[in-house]
Amino acid sequence: MTSATHVVTENFPPVAGRRSTFDVEKVRRDFPILHQKVNGKPLVYLDNAATSQKPESVLRTLDKYYREYNSNIHRGVHYLSERATQAYEQARQAAQHFINAGDPSEVIFVRGTTEAINLVAQTWGRRHVGAGDEIIISTMEHHSGIVPWQILCQEKGAKLRVIPINDQGELLLEEYEKLLGPRTKFVSVVHVSNVLGTINPVREIIELAHRRGVPVLLDGAQAAPHVKVDVRALDCDFYAFSSHKLYGPTGVGVLYGKAKLLEAMPPYQGGGDMISSVTFEKTVYNKVPHKFEAGTPNIAGVIGLGAAIQYLNQFDWEQVEAHEREVLAYASERISSVPGVRLIGTAREKTAVVSFVIEGIHPHDVGTILDQEGIAIRTGHHCAQPLMQRFGIPATARASLGFYSTRADVDALVAGLHKVLEVFQ
């Protein structure tokens, strides 16, 4: 989580300087919620793909904003408003550097990944996609990466084409190449699958699309917290992620877009702040990014996201990735050794997620029994029903890691799974 810029101002509480080594116990101390008992047992939080926990510095930033400078942004001339505006725009710069975007105006604050994808479908999509055109997605998309495109296709008479996967949960690149054709208008794929943990070969996906002049959106909801994202190195046209999975507050996220594309796109929503002048006859829109941020945004959330990024900037990304890889390998091995367990998603390139089923036991029962042990995992279709259909299962149990996850968490989970087996014996 390295970045050239550390946003340190009076708005963001100072964090300790750069950490030379990754000490997971020290990291855990930054997250107050982790230190509690649930059902009389120490909390084991393994539902980070759904949402991650927030460090003290983010909590303090939110508190400070509401206590000291809560105010609306951009239009105020008074002290509080100027300070809130400054913090909001500093968070934009923090997000810009976090994903290595070329300019802060390429960072649009939205509600989250879902809104980011809808924004692109409803603006770029509506303008450029017509009858008979095709949009390529993949089998492992979250519903947020399916439904917005389906809505667009229905409206325009366009078609969704879907990249198949193999049994390990890896995209079949040669099939993708075959799908790319003269009618392809857009490609939208997950960077990292929320069910399988697969890290997709997004560089190749983008390159193949660009050879045909087709823009690509990456759904980075599960990637941003776990792999270094560099939108310029990837050369993606759009990138979406959510703050709440990145140790920041809920209700806010980022849509990155290349400036040239954003400038040419029509606005998403109309209202305050997205205009430069309005008469009853004609409205002139504001420049990007403000053109896409109609109405009072989630000011506290954005500032909280800035604090989360500032917090993450203390860490060496390679050390974080190494830690998560180590815990993932341990988790995969230990969980798969539990009798009756089958892992769903065994891609060579994987991060942070272990999905599994246990023969003869419904995942919901697994989750409920684990909860009695203070262990939080997620069970269900994980908003990826077509992927469940691909594997011929209705649901999985999913343990997902954060960078504060430990081998001890995995040991507790495995002990819990043995309890599940006992109950069903």
Which of 334, 236, 385, 323 minimizes the C-alpha distance to 26? 323
* Whether residue 383 lies in the annotated active site: yes
Region at 380 (left for phi over 0; alpha for psi -120 to 50; beta for the rest)? left
Q: By C-beta, is 145 or 367 nearer to ligand PMP?
A: 145
Q: What is the C-alpha end-to-end distance of the chain, expressed in Å?
A: 45
Q: Which helix (H) or strand (E) holds 138?
A: strand 134-138
Least separation in angstroms between residue 66's CB and ligand PMP is: 23
Interaxial angle between packed helices 299-312 and 56-64, expressed in degrees from 0 to 180 and rounded to the nearest 10 = 150
Least separation in angstroms between residue 252's CB and ligand PMP is: 9
Give the separation between CA 406 and CA 270, rounded to whole angstroms: 46
Q: By C-beta, is 96 or 243 nearer to ligand PMP?
A: 243
DSSP state of 124: I
Q: By C-beta, is 59 or 383 nearer to ligand PMP?
A: 383
Give the separation between CA 149 and CA 399, rounded to whole angstroms: 29
Among residues 151, 259, 275, 383, which one is catalytic? 383
Contact residues for ligand PMP, defined by CB under 6 A = 49, 112-114, 142, 144-145, 190, 194, 219, 221-222, 242, 253, 383
> Which tokens in the block code for residue 102?
């070329």
Give the separation between CA 288 and CA 246, rounded to whole angstroms: 24
Q: By C-beta, is 52 or 314 nearer to ligand PMP?
A: 52
**Rg, the chain, Cα only:** 22
Q: By C-beta, is 221 or 302 nearer to ligand PMP?
A: 221
CA distances from 150 to 117, 210, 230, 293, 385 (A): 12, 23, 28, 24, 15
Least separation in angstroms between residue 253's CB and ligand PMP is: 6
Which of 83, 49, 62, 127 minimizes the C-alpha distance to 382? 49
What's CA 369's distance to the chain center, in Å? 28
CA distances from 166 to 111, 162, 169, 248 (A): 33, 13, 5, 34
Residues 6 or more apart in contact with residue 274 via CB below 8 angstroms: 267, 285, 286, 290, 291, 292, 293, 294
Give the separation between CA 307 and CA 320, rounded to whole angstroms: 18
Q: Which residues are catalytic?
A: 383
